[in-house]
Amino acid sequence: MMMNANRLVVVSKCVQSCKRLLACNVRHAGKKIQQVQQQRLFRTHCRQLAYAKDLFLGSLNKDEVFPYPEIGKEELDEINQLVAPVEKFFSEEVDSAKIDREAKIPEETLKGLKELGLFGLMVPEEYGGLGLSNTMYARLAEITSLDGSIAVTLAAHQAIGLKGILIAGTEAQKQKYLPKLASGEHIAAFCLTEPGSGSDAASIQTRATLSEDGKHYLINGSKIWISNGGMADIMTVFARTEVVVDGVKEDKISAFIVERAFGGITSGKPEDKLGIRGSNTCEVSFDNVPVPVENVIGEVGGGFKIAMNILNSGRFSMGSSSAGMIKKLITMTSEYAATRKQFNKSLSEFGLIQEKFAVMSLNAFIMESMAYLTAGMMDRPGLPDCSLEAAMVKVFSSERAWICVSEALQVLGGLGYTKNYPYERYLRDCRILPIFEGTNEVLRMYIALTGMQYAGKITTWKINEIKKGNVGLAISMLVKRMMNKFSSSVDLGLTGKDGVVHPSMTESAKMLELNVTHFGWTVETLLYRFGKTIVDEQIALKRVADVLINLYAMTAVLSRASRSITIGLKNNDHEILLTNTFCSEAFFKNNYMIHQLQTHTPGNSDANIKKIAAEVLQDRSYICAHPLEGIY
Amino acid sequence: MKSARCLLHLQCLRLLDRSARSAAQCAPLLQSSSSSQPSVLHKNQHQLLRQFHSSPAWSKSQPTPADDHKKDKSLVTNDDLFEQVAKDVKVKATFNKVVDVFLNRDVRRRGHVEFIYAALKKMPEFGVERDLTVYNKLLDVFPKEVFVPRNAVQRMFNHYPRQQECGVQLLEQMEEYGVMPNVETKVLLVQIFGKKAHPVRKYQRMMYWMPKFKHVNPFPVPVQLPEDPVDVARFGLARIANDLDAKVNVYQLPCTDITETGEEITIPHVVGIQSPSQMELLAKHNPNRPVFVEGPFPLWLRQTCVHYYVLRADPPEEKVEEPYDPERSLYYPLQLDVDFGRDLGDEENFDVEDLDEGPVFAMCMTGRGDQATLNQWISGLQENNPMLGQVPTLFRVNAGPQELSASADAESGQAHRPDTKTRSGEKLQRDGEPGVIVEEEPQRRQGRNQ
């Protein structure tokens, strides 16, 4: 009996050590390859680590996002000094209702904006700008967003219009153009979209041909929906050029700095829009516009990368601007809710009204947290690639902004629907947010596919390794899966001894950890299931993006609230409350979506959705018989 | 609702009948109770009155005299009735008139079964074969109450089988023409045959299935096809193409001219259809590989058969995949750089429609299937498809459609014949034997159209 038991113990020990050995081996190999992969992946980027991408592997790179980024006292003073006059200007001198009514920003308002330096926020000081960091830019965007038209005009000018010169221009180009752009003497525009080309760069028709003397390019074509198109003096124009690659002539896109003074540029009638009516959007046509060769931004044929970089870099500020808008709306509507009485009770005593305010402040809090976390990450030394994070901020805040503005309007009921109050204008203005700077649909694809690509490299390696006969890896993966299936809690290091999250939010942190682990596992499953055809599984990818956005939002609020409570900011208990509320809500949503991502689960009605759409689209109309119809 | 109420009335009437009260007594009662149900019940009332005159007992116990019987029952008489009354115009009104004449001729309605059979046969001639009111009127010819079984034995056996059969036959014809009975039909059937008789059962089955099948065809063909052959061609082509983007082009309108010498020249219609995606396919077609004009293929639109021709090519030898352009999408990658494809469990690629039969570039219908006419079509197509000028066009055309449709029209029972003929011709041609029917003439379109 004793003997037997002993033997059993020995055997089990042996097995365990074997397992450990194998696992060790595997982990080691895995790490190595991961390093190799990362090196290969990030050769173009300076930063070695990426938070959002790592979530796709189920790992939580806490050093990236904890502690929450801070700015020093001097910077804080500086930004406060900047903010005060701008805030004053917007509350006293900007008549948003008039701008909206007349669909034009008055000259004196524009002049005021220029005097405040708002046209050159990100331009370095040596070129006459304010040289603000991303964080400070985000802070100012909170205020400029109080008027949608002005915000869009400014964004079109500096977030995309002059960004090309800023990030890829030569010193001479910068010297020549930036000072006047920074002062607002010249206004910039970004000309990419064409009648036949939205996201599809291959269908860009505008063409730049080299003149015979080789000194000029002649640009021909037309661009649509150009913000500031009617008043811009300097434009970043993307056009096809003929480039010789390896002896073969190819059409590639190049970016040009085009001055209106070059001649041959005509702008169409401003578009009559739903919202942001004061901003100038129109068609711009180019008819044999001569552009000197030295006005090419970057290399000839390198326009695609420049366009992508400009678009990717401009998005992060939408979080803070939406938050700014919602904060203002909360102040306005809570005033009304507190004074308006029904049944001898003020509106603020009704649960359904209270819920609206909770939703608004929760969302404002999350947007703020995400926006400043991203801005802080972008401000780190080197040129970190935060395009994934920025895209998440954009998608989240643009959608939540619409919900919040709509709720704010609802608090006022019929009054909110009239033009006597600004709510309908805010509602119209913020409808553009999910559309421009990349529609939320394409951004969701970007978010999901970028991560999938990252995770796919590692999965490919694993599969190849197993094919080669690495049994250890296979077993370790199997064991990991089993553990995943049966464990209800995981430790990714957010709490506990080396924890970064304040103990008051331990539960929320645990939820995040659990979600991250399951998410990584789900991504792996999806990759195994669909392989490279995952690009066609858009409904699944949308869920992947949504889970990731929630995870990032959870991280941001956890990080921010932990900092607040640790350093003792005012009302930090309220932040904790908001954080815990959001985290538990997001946790269940994530679980549901992750569940839907599994094969053939009851909650997953993707096949039905596709079928419904196919049947409707085939007839191009609603196909059900009218309920009043019968067969007689 | 209506029917239920009617049935109720009916039962009450039957009770009255049984108690053998006089008709005069019950008429006012009926009048008051049926004021809310004008059409159906008024009819009931009349029938009822009439029915009291000829009670079932009477008709059963006293068989009609033989000579009378013969005269009335013969089919010829009833056919004659139709011919007599509706000498010139055969329309609904005259048909109704015939029925009325029959009704007024003999209060006992002797020979009604034969009359109904004859009327059913005549219906298409009068163009009322799809008219529900006419069917109801015909049903109304049956005497009411007489054939309703009254005891268990009658119910058990086939009570008045000829009459029931006749009623079923009437319903059958309705079904054949897709006419759905209504409540009035039901009331009549119940009045005539009783609630569980065969015709009522037939009615119930029809009401179960016919509504279910009414819209089951996602591509319905209208009952009345347009008269104009161009419109028929338009409809037929749109039906085969089943593409909302496809555009129908009339390349040539039909017309008849008389030349100076007195010869009659008919120009056939040429109607074609092509969708933008087909144009795209054609533009991408390898000019060294010929395109074929093939046909005629039959298309049945209810009773009419039309023929169409297709412009197609052989399946491409190898599928050319467009190289992935990483600088295509401004916002997200269109392709993942991952080594593996779909897992077996999620492989849903099999598609019965995805067959390598080669692309079809356009289709047409024409009044005459000779090559000259089809050339009209091809040169018309060339306006929007310049590629056709560079591609050799081969005509693989079988016997013209006139002959085929003539045979098809002559006997609809042999509808499949033209089809098999076409097929065999095709097969011959595929084998490389230049058969008699096959007319193959490679030519450079470019040269012709200059």
> pLDDT tens across A146-197, in order?
999 999 999 999 999 999 999 999 999 999 999 999 999 999 999 999 988 8
Half-sphere exposure of B5 (CA within 13 A, CB side): 10
Q: Which of these, A411, A473, A421, lies nearest to A22 by C-alpha position?
A: A473
More confident residue, A437 or A32: A437
From the list A202, A442, A533, the residue facing B331 with the nearest CB is: A442
C-alpha distances (whole Å) from B443 to each of B386, B447, B448 are 16, 8, 8
A363-372, B102-111, B360-369, B387-396: which is most confident = A363-372
Helix ranges, A230-316 (H): 303-313
Within an 8 Å CB–CB cutoff, is residue B244 touching chain A? yes
* Binding-site residues on chain A for chain B (CB distance < 8 A): 192, 199-202, 252-253, 304-305, 307-308, 311, 438, 442-443, 445-446, 449-450, 452-453, 456-457, 459-460, 463-464, 527-535, 599, 620, 625, 631-632
Rounding to the nearest 10 degrees, give the CA dihedral for residues B264, B269, B270, B276: 160
Q: Residues 6 or more apart from A499 whose CB is under 8 A from it?
A: A493, A509
Report the distance separating Cα A373 and Cα A364, nearest Å.
14
Query: Could you give the CA distance from residue A471 to residue A465 in angstroms, rounded to a whole number?
Result: 9
Residue B313 has phi, psi (to 5 degrees) of: -135, 165
DSSP for A12-36, written as a single string: HHHHHHHHHHHHHHHHHHHHHHHHH
**Mutant choice from B185, B335, B338 vs A, greatest count of A C-beta within 10 A:** B338
Asked if residue A450 lies in contact with residue A388, where contact means CB atoms within 8 angstroms, the answer is yes
pLDDT digits (tens, 9 = 90+) for B161-208: 999 999 999 999 999 999 999 999 999 999 999 999 999 999 999 999
3-state secondary structure of A359: helix
Q: Which chain B residue's Cα is nearest to A624?
A: B215
Separation between Cα atoms, residue A566 and residue A502, nearest integer Å:
7
pLDDT band for position A39 (50/70/90)?
very low
Q: Which of A334, A48, A356, A297 is nearest to A171 (CA)?
A: A297
Q: Which residues of B touch A620 (CB under 8 A)?
A: 244
CB contact under 8 A, B331 and A446: yes
| CB < 8 Å to A464, chain B | 339
B93/A contact by beta carbon, under 8 A? no
* Whole-angstrom distance, CA of residue B178 vs CA of residue B185: 15
User: What CA–CA distance (Å, rounded) separates A30 from A474?
Assistant: 12
Report which secondary-structure segment, H or E, holds B56: helix B56-61
Would you say residue A46 has pLDDT above 50? Answer: no
* A532:B338 CB<8 A: yes
Q: In terms of pLDDT, which residue wins out, B319 or A97?
A: A97
Nearest alpha carbon to residue A86 among A121, A62, A54, A57: A121
Residues in chain B closer than 8 A to A443 (CB atoms): 331-332
Reported as a single tens digit per residue, the pLDDT across B116-171 is 999 999 999 899 999 999 999 999 999 999 999 999 999 888 899 999 999 999 99
Q: Is the pLDDT of residue B38 over 50?
A: no
Question: So what's the pLDDT on residue B323?
Answer: 77
Chain A contact set for B342 (CB, 8 A): 529-531, 533
d(CA A251, CA A300): 11
Work out the number of other CB atoms within 10 angstroms of the CB of residue B274. 25
Question: Residue B315 pLDDT > 50, yes or no?
Answer: yes
- The chain A residue lying nearest B181, using CA atoms, is A632
Which DSSP letter does residue A438 get?
Answer: S
Please tell me the distance from the alpha carbon of residue A384 to that of residue A51, in angstroms, as a whole number: 11
Tokens standing for B289?
């590989």
pLDDT-derived band of residue B349, with 50, 70 and 90 as boundaries? low
| Nearest-CB residue to A535 (from B180, B334, B345) | B334
Q: Are A130 and A120 in contact (CB under 8 A)?
A: yes
- What pLDDT, on the 0 to 100 scale, is given for residue B85? 75
Integer Cα distance of A444 and A436 in angstroms: 14
DSSP state letter for A234: E
Three-class DSSP category at B293: strand
Inter-chain touch B330–A252, beta carbons under 8 Å: no
How do strand B247-252 and strand B255-258 relate by DSSP bridges?
unpaired
Angle at B119 between CA B116 and CA B120, to 5 degrees: 85
pLDDT band at B5 (very low <50, low <70, confident <90, very high): low
List the single range of A5-19, A121-135, B39-53, B427-441 with lowest mean pLDDT: B427-441
- Of residues A28 and A553, more confidence is placed in A553
Percentage of chain A beyond pLDDT 70 is 91
How much is the average pLDDT of B222-242? 91
Q: Across residues B280-287, what is the average pLDDT?
A: 88
Q: Where are the alpha helices (DSSP H) in A340-470?
A: 351-378, 387-412, 414-417, 423-430, 440-468
Q: Average pLDDT of B393-406?
A: 67
Burial of B382 (0-12, 13-18, 19+ CB in 10 A): middle
Contact A456 B336 (CB under 8 A): yes
The predicted structure's pLDDT at residue A230? 93
Average pLDDT, chain A: 88
**Given this model, what pLDDT does residue B262 score?**
76
Q: Answer whether residue B412 shows pLDDT above 80.
A: no
| Least confident residue range of A100-104, A118-122, A481-485 | A481-485
Tell me, what amino acid is at A350?
A: F
Average pLDDT score over residue span A265-287: 94
Selecting from A438, A534, A625 the residue whose C-beta is nearest the C-beta of B336 gives A534
- What's the gap in Å between the CA of B244 and the closest CA on chain A? 8
Average pLDDT on B330-339 reads 83
| Whole-number pLDDT of residue A265 | 94
Q: Say whether residue B218 is in contact with chain A using an 8 A CB cutoff.
A: no
Mean pLDDT for A241-252 is 87
Please name every residue paired with B362 in a beta bridge, in sequence order, or none if there are none: B311
| Residues from chain B contacting residue A533 (CB–CB below 8 Å) | 341-342
Q: Which two tokens stand for residue B116?
A: 């109904």
* Binary contact (A443, B332; C-beta < 8 A): yes
Query: Does residue B346 belong to the interface with chain A, where contact is any CB pair within 8 Å?
Result: yes
Select from A390, A307, A402 the least CA-distant residue to A359.
Answer: A402
Looking at per-residue pLDDT, the higher value among A381 and A183 belongs to A183
Mean pLDDT of B283-301: 89
A404 or B391: whose pLDDT is higher? A404
Predicted pLDDT of residue A488: 66
Report pLDDT for B59: 42
pLDDT greater at residue B437 or residue A212: A212
Please determine, for residue B70, whether its predicted confidence score (pLDDT) is greater than 50: no
| Range list of H helices, A71-190 | 73-92, 96-102, 107-115, 134-144, 148-154, 163-168, 171-183
Output b/e per residue, A513-545; b: 16+ Cβ within 10 A. bbbbbbbbbbbbbbbbbbbbbbbebbebbbbbb
Residue A361 has pLDDT above 90, yes or no: yes
pLDDT value of position B439? 39
Using a CB–CB cutoff of 8 Å, tell me whether B337 touches chain A: yes
- Contact between chains at A632 and B345 (C-beta distance less than 8 A): no
Contact B330 A199 (CB under 8 A): yes
Q: For chain A, how are helix, strand and coil distributed in percent, rounded to 5?
A: 65, 10, 25
Rounded to whole angstroms, the Cα distance separating B19 from A105 reads 95
- Dihedral-angle region of residue A263 (phi above 0 means left; psi in -120 to 50 means alpha; beta otherwise): left
Taking the Cβ of residue B277 and every Cβ of chain A, the question of whether any pair is shorter than 8 Å is answered with no
pTM above 0.90, yes or no: no
Report whether pLDDT(A275) > 60: yes
Per-residue pLDDT at B98 exceeds 70 = yes
Distance CA(B294)–CA(B273), nearest Å, equals 15
First to last CA, chain A: 86
Q: Which helix (H) or strand (E) holds B308?
A: strand B304-313
Give whole-number Cα distances, A218 to A242, A265, A448, A568, B432, in Å: 12, 12, 39, 61, 57
Average pLDDT (A53-64) is: 89
Average pLDDT value for residue range A277-296: 94
Cβ of A443 and B331 within 8 Å? yes
Among A202, A620, A632, whose Cβ lies nearest the Cβ of B244? Answer: A620
Distance (Å, rounded) from C-alpha A605 to C-alpha A597?
Answer: 10
A79 pLDDT higher than 50: yes
Highest mean pLDDT: which of A181-195, B281-295, B313-327? Answer: A181-195
Distance from CA of A170 to the nearest CA of B (A): 23
A449, A528, A533 member nearest B333 (Cβ): A449
Letter for the amino acid at B356?
D
Share of chain B above pLDDT 90, in %: 32
Residue with tokens 């040269």: B447
Asked whether the predicted pLDDT for residue A286 surpasses 90, the reply is: yes
Using an 8 Å CB-CB cutoff, list chain A residues near B334: 535
Given this model, what pLDDT does residue B7 score?
A: 52
Chains A and B form CB pairs within 8 A to the count of 99
CA distance B218 to chain A (A): 11
pLDDT digits (tens, 9 = 90+) for B424-433: 333 333 333 3
At how many degrees (to 10) do helices B132-139 and B92-105 cross? 10
What one-character-per-residue DSSP string does A405-434 give? HHHHHHHHTHHHHSTTSTHHHHHHHHTTTT
* Shortest CA gap A344–chain B (Å): 52
Question: Looking at the predicted structure, is the pLDDT value of residue B61 above 50?
Answer: no
The per-residue pLDDT for A478 is: 83
Mean pLDDT across B240-260: 86
Write the residue in A201, A311, A535 that is nearest to B336 by C-beta. Answer: A535
The answer, yes or no, to whether residue B18 has pLDDT greater than 60, is no
pLDDT in tens, A582-616: 999 999 999 999 999 887 667 788 888 999 999 99
**Confidence at residue A263, expressed as pLDDT on a 0 to 100 scale:** 92
Q: Hey, what are A517's tokens?
A: 């682990």
Of A234-248, B25-39, B226-240, B340-354, minimum mean pLDDT range: B25-39
Q: Is the pLDDT reported for residue A315 higher than 80?
A: yes
Integer-rounded Cα radius of gyration of chain B: 33
**H or E, element range at B345:** none
A6-15, A118-127, B383-392, B412-421: least confidently modelled range: B412-421
**Range with the poorest average pLDDT among A195-199, A625-629, B101-105:** A195-199
Which residues of A are identified as catalytic? Answer: 437
Residue B350's pLDDT is 63
Give the whole-angstrom CA distance, residue A415 versus residue A621: 36
What is the bridge-based pairing of β-strands A216-227 and A281-292? antiparallel
- How many residues make up chain B in this entry? 450
**Which of A200, A449, A528 is the closest to B328 by Cβ?**
A200
How sure is the predictor about A245, in pLDDT bands with cuts at 50, 70 and 90?
confident
A531/B337 CB distance under 8 A: no
Q: Of residues B428 and B19, which shows the higher confidence score?
A: B19
The pLDDT-based confidence of B14 (bands split at 50, 70, 90) is low
